[in-house]
Amino acid sequence: MSSPLIGVINLIGEPDALGPITSSRCLASVPFGARYRLIDFVLSGMVNSGISKVAVFTDANYRSLLDHLGSGRHWNLHLRESGLFVLPPVSPKSGDLYHFNHHCDFFLRSKEPFVAVTRGHVVCNVDFAAVLAFHEEKNADITIVCTKRRDPRPYTAPAVETDETSRVVSLTVSGGQSDSRLVSMEIYVLRKSLLLELARASQEAGPARLVHDGIAPMVGEWKVYAYRHNGYTGIIDSIEHYFLHNMDLLEPDVWNELFFHPGPIFTKIKDEPPTRFQAGAEVSRSLIANGCVIEGTVENSILFRGVRVHKKAVVRNSIVMQNGEIGESAVVDCAILDKEAKVQQGRHVCGTERRPLIVGKRQII
């Protein structure tokens, strides 16, 4: 059954906190978990919830995102009348409400009465149908999907405070890191008419942002409620969090919860041969995608498609993206290697868990 929700993945003004990893790609298209991209999680959640119309509002560096999304067929969104819509940016200095207003025809031509506005950098598996049911039960103007902060290190996500009925009494959007126990997952459900009203108002107010200028100032007047998501959540707003949440996937319970409940996470399918483990290879507690060739040692690491680990090489506590190569007798420890990076024979590349060393795309060490 088709959902009464339109899905909106809002990439306007996303945090740019991953340094060289986001120098040539937007945050939503950053590789994650051996074969996925960050956008796959909210997009799959929408599809699993019956949402058949999804718009992606792009900002900058979105070439790799377009390549990944294609026609939307990997998410079953290659439909004649609904499907996946990738909408280009309008002005680099305008807020997201300005972009929504510029593309208002997309909303006006849609029959669905509700909108779920999300970001593209939150790793989660959300049941949007359950969120909408909560929204209607509370007769809310806006519902914010929230999570309890499990990691002691603060996130940049908006901090949320509620009363005993889950009504939001405070929404702090400071732009800095918050240590609140309850944080927004940057998923907002509201009526389409209200979103368009906010978007039209932004024309007079100048550059305006949905959360900062639209929702936060109205918390005291509107019925804003917090829906608590109890599943695994990773907000990727720093190199430290990117590394931490990737490493969390090495826990079987986290993997099973995130990728299969309440529905599966989909991604672009690439046909690769099975990984080959050559004589002398030693692998423990690692996540390894197809197409790899392992001759050395891999411990507590995540390897994307096509990675080559040569003889006597050691990869430990690290992330190696697609087509990376670790030379003979080289050591990689607490590092993130971007696509097609190469560590030459005998070299040592080492960081720490709090500050992993980053090797840029196609860089040779």
Chain segment 135-168, per-residue pLDDT in tens: 999 999 999 999 997 766 667 789 999 999 999 9
C-alpha 198/C-alpha 205 separation (Å) is 10
Alpha-carbon separation of residue 299 from 101, 242, 302, 310 (angstroms) = 49, 18, 9, 14
Between residues 243 and 176, the one the model is more confident about: 243
- What the chain holds in terms of domains, given with CATH numbers, is 5-260 (3.90.550.10), 276-359 (2.160.10.10)
**Predicted pLDDT of residue 10:** 97
7 burial level (CB within 10 Å; 0-12, 13-18, 19+): buried
Strand partners, 320: 303, 337
For residue 217 the two structure tokens come to: 């100032």
Residue 307 phi, psi (nearest 5): -75, 140
Share of the chain residues as helix, strand and coil, in percent rounded to the nearest 5? 25, 30, 45
Residue type, 50: G
- The yes-or-no verdict on residue 177 having pLDDT over 60 is no
Chain segment 178-197, per-residue pLDDT in tens: 556 899 999 999 999 999 99
**Predicted pLDDT of residue 2:** 79
Residue 134 phi, psi (nearest 5): -60, -45
Question: Tokens 């009348």 sit at which residue?
Answer: 81
C-alpha 331/C-alpha 310 separation (Å) is 11
Enumerate the H helices of the chain as residue ranges: 39-48, 63-69, 96-102, 104-108, 128-137, 192-205, 239-248, 252-260
Chain segment 256-305, per-residue pLDDT in tens: 999 999 999 999 998 889 999 999 999 999 999 999 999 999 999 999 99
